[in-house]
Amino acid sequence: MKIVVDFDKCKSNAVCMGVAPEVFEVRDDNFLYILQEEPAEELRPKMEEAVRTCPAGAIELVG
């Protein structure tokens, strides 16, 4: 699975980071960083939650 973020939509509100801090990080510059573009399969439930809870609808799972 691969994480794809539409950075044009992303508001860096850190909801995804709250769900999966091992994959997403909003830094002091107020930008979202993807720490693992292809997270392990056991993180799929967290990734699906991050997609569902993103207020901007900016996260997509591929694969």
Domains and CATH numbers, the chain: 2-62 (3.30.70.20)
What is the reported pLDDT for 3?
A: 97
CB 12 within 8 A of CB 58: no
Instruction: Look up residue 14 and give its two tokens.
Output: 């850190």
What does the pLDDT look like over 4-58, one tens digit per residue? 999 999 999 999 999 999 999 999 999 999 999 999 999 999 999 999 999 999 9
Report CA dihedral (50, 46, 27, 54) to the nearest 10 degrees. 10
d(CA 62, CA 60): 6
Task: Give first-to-last CA distance, the chain, whole Å.
Answer: 4
